[in-house]
Amino acid sequence: MVGWLCEQTSSLSVCGVGQSSLCTQMSLTRLFTTPIFYVNGTPHIGHAYSVVLADFYARASRLRTARPTLSQLPSTVRFASGTDEHGFKVARAASALNIAPRALCDQVSRSFRDTFARLDVVPDDFVRTTESRHALVVAAMWRRLERRGLISLSIYSGWYCVSDEAFVPDDAVVTGPDPADPTRSCTVSRESGNVVERIDEPTYMFDMARLRDSVRQWLLSTPSPVRPLERLNEVLAMLDSPAASLPLSVSRPRARVGWGIEVPRNPEHTIYVWLDALCNYLTVLSHDTAAIVAALDDDSNDLSSLGWPPTLQVLGKDILRFHAVYWPSFLLAAGIRPPAELLVHAFWTTASGDKVSKSRGNAPRTLNELLGEYEADALRYFLLRHGGLANDSEFSETLLAQCRTAELVDRLGNLLSRLTGASMLPLQRWPASVQSNDGAVVDAAARTAFADVMAAVDARRSGIALESISTLLRTVNTFVAERQPWTLARDGMERASVLRAALHGLRVGLVLLQPAMPTTCARALDHLNVQHCQWSEAAVLDTPVAADTPFAAAAAPILFPRTKK
């Protein structure tokens, strides 16, 4: 079937560039991506934010694809991540360590992959840009752009920023403090503050100006493909700047940057690392690389039969220009639709407001160290609950620990152990449903939370989604505190009724929390002996748990021990 499905409304429509950007092709893969990570440092909390956000929305999408209106459509979610391994920056990091670039890449790529797995982020595909399958895709994309007359050999005389791996126009550099030694001044990129160097070399140029109007049209489509809206305005300003009318260099001489993918038919040049890196999103479309290359080699093939375009691409605000100007330019130039949605997040900062970063050496602790101290789910919850999209957020272990104690130890964990303890329910079973109004307040709160979470997920506001669930759990706690079931007769109907209502609220909260805290929710739902159900109103709100369903174990799991920080 040919058509497009709108995630928000579940409606069918025919849509092209400039129309509903949240539409994704029916019966095909829904692709969710993270940026791919530079292998010149160890994973820290900022990297974790990009992957956890993408993982959260991919998991939520998996839970929603079983909505009754969609159940007849075969729809799979594909979630991809990876490492960005080429370029001067990585080669320089390897030489500083006196090891071969390949050895550094193998080691750091593995560490990203393993650390993400500890965070419960296990992508369907993890691409490394040094893999031969990726080189085949990049070369095919290059040939396609060349066939369409958008790439030609020329000379680049100007600034280059190694930290950002970016060609920087003359009007975008300023004299500023040297980040390595602030007492000295040097020429830096105005946008990132990183040092630039002058280069003068033969280079292939991509005629980006030709795509300016098409990119603007894509950016201005409804709903906007760039979220949040603050970032859209930034991108529009970038598009209007003089730099956007200049050709973009898309190669470096091999003599200068040897650690890269060869330009097809000209081994004297390697492909610019951002064109190489952005093409990872094409590489992860399928494990059948030959099919991707064949599609790229066929100029009339827009890759939609392979599941293109991505449903959601998550990225940090520092790489906005590359994803919202360069990336759609390359794609539109190749006759391929740009992604449906770019979700751009802000930074985690130190208390003094500096971006947590490897180059500034100010990451409080590595991600692995944090994961040794805190549960992955506590970290995921904190990032999703308090991380910013438009505005930066401060990261500190004090804030993390406070959030964990208030919302996970005292509220969620406590509710599970309190409601299912043997003193409360000696038979360790779901109480029978009873005729009473006891459930009304909890049921109303559960319905509100369900609707609010669905809306917040559609609006990509993970913090609001988690706050709605937190409100539901607070209502359940208050209800239990007010009704004091422990004061009611042990085998009386009233006690059963109060506990059943409270357990229903807890179950709904856990079902809704699944994409944020998969392990915790699985443990708790398993203990309650209920299904980890999909996100349909019928399954979540209107399918009662059978009376007398026994709990799975003698004692409830301690979800978040109090003894930890």
Rounded CA gap, 509 and 521, in Å?
9
Interacting residues of 450 by C-beta distance below 8 A, sequence separation 6+? 508, 512, 537, 540, 541
Among 30-38, 167-175, 228-236, 448-456, the segment contacting ligand MSP (CB under 6 A):
30-38
Task: For residue 151, give the H/E element and its range.
Answer: strand 151-161
Least Å from the CB of residue 89 to ligand MSP: 9
Residue 362 or 433: which CB sits closer to ligand MSP? 362
Is 169:242 a contact under the CB 8 Å cutoff? yes
C-alpha radius of gyration, the chain, whole number:
26
If one asks whether residue 86 binds ligand MSP (CB under 6 A), the answer comes out as no
Least Å from the CB of residue 177 to ligand MSP: 20
Interacting residues of 227 by C-beta distance below 8 A, sequence separation 6+? 341, 342, 343, 344, 389, 460
Figure out which of the listed residues 7, 84, 377, 407 binds ligand MSP, where binding follows CB under 6 A. 84
Residue 348 or 450: which CB sits closer to ligand MSP? 348
The CA angle 5-24-22, to the nearest 5 degrees, is 90
Least Å from the CB of residue 427 to ligand MSP: 49
If one asks whether residue 318 binds ligand MSP (CB under 6 A), the answer comes out as yes
Residue 35 or 228: which CB sits closer to ligand MSP? 35
If one asks whether residue 35 binds ligand MSP (CB under 6 A), the answer comes out as yes
If one asks whether residue 52 binds ligand MSP (CB under 6 A), the answer comes out as no
Is 153:204 a contact under the CB 8 Å cutoff? yes
Site for ligand MSP in 483-522 (CB under 6 A): none
Among 36-44, 169-177, 180-188, 234-242, the segment contacting ligand MSP (CB under 6 A):
36-44
Name beta bridge partners: 6: 23
If one asks whether residue 259 binds ligand MSP (CB under 6 A), the answer comes out as no
Figure out which of the listed residues 4, 49, 430, 535 binds ligand MSP, where binding follows CB under 6 A. 49
Figure out which of the listed residues 22, 77, 205, 356 binds ligand MSP, where binding follows CB under 6 A. 356
Residue type, 13: S
Rounded CA gap, 449 and 208, in Å?
46
Among 45-53, 134-142, 298-306, 525-533, the segment contacting ligand MSP (CB under 6 A):
45-53
| Helix/strand/coil for 270 | strand
Residue 298: count of CB within 10 angstroms of its CB: 11
If one asks whether residue 38 binds ligand MSP (CB under 6 A), the answer comes out as yes
If one asks whether residue 355 binds ligand MSP (CB under 6 A), the answer comes out as yes
If one asks whether residue 348 binds ligand MSP (CB under 6 A), the answer comes out as yes
The CA angle 470-476-480, to the nearest 5 degrees, is 145
Among 44-52, 299-307, 424-432, 491-499, the segment contacting ligand MSP (CB under 6 A):
44-52
Rounded CA gap, 117 and 322, in Å?
27
Interacting residues of 371 by C-beta distance below 8 A, sequence separation 6+? 115, 118, 119, 379
Residue 340 or 445: which CB sits closer to ligand MSP? 340
Is 280:36 a contact under the CB 8 Å cutoff? yes
Interacting residues of 150 by C-beta distance below 8 A, sequence separation 6+? 206, 207, 210, 333
Classify the C-alpha dihedral 24-27-28-34 as positive or negative: positive
If one asks whether residue 226 binds ligand MSP (CB under 6 A), the answer comes out as no
Is 101:81 a contact under the CB 8 Å cutoff? no
Residue 321 or 527: which CB sits closer to ligand MSP? 321
Least Å from the CB of residue 296 to ligand MSP: 17
Residue 101 or 413: which CB sits closer to ligand MSP? 101
Rounded CA gap, 310 and 339, in Å?
5
Residue 249 or 514: which CB sits closer to ligand MSP? 249
Task: For residue 148, give the H/E element and its range.
Answer: none
Give the interface size with ligand MSP as a residue count (CB under 6 A): 21
Is 469:509 a contact under the CB 8 Å cutoff? yes
Residue 89 or 483: which CB sits closer to ligand MSP? 89
Residue 32 or 37: which CB sits closer to ligand MSP? 37
Figure out which of the listed residues 15, 91, 196, 319 binds ligand MSP, where binding follows CB under 6 A. 319
Residue 316 or 509: which CB sits closer to ligand MSP? 316
- Residue 550 buriedness (CB in 10 A; 0-12 / 13-18 / 19+): exposed
Least Å from the CB of residue 136 to ligand MSP: 17
User: Side-chain half-sphere of 24: how many Cα atoms within 13 Å?
Assistant: 31
Residue 25 or 83: which CB sits closer to ligand MSP? 83
| Helix/strand/coil for 485 | helix
If one asks whether residue 36 binds ligand MSP (CB under 6 A), the answer comes out as yes
Least Å from the CB of residue 51 to ligand MSP: 8
Site for ligand MSP in 151-170 (CB under 6 A): none
Strand ordering across the sheet containing 266-271: 251-253, 266-271, 262-263
If one asks whether residue 316 binds ligand MSP (CB under 6 A), the answer comes out as yes
Residues that bind ligand MSP (CB under 6 A): 35-38, 46-47, 49-50, 84, 277-278, 280, 315-316, 318-319, 347-348, 355-357
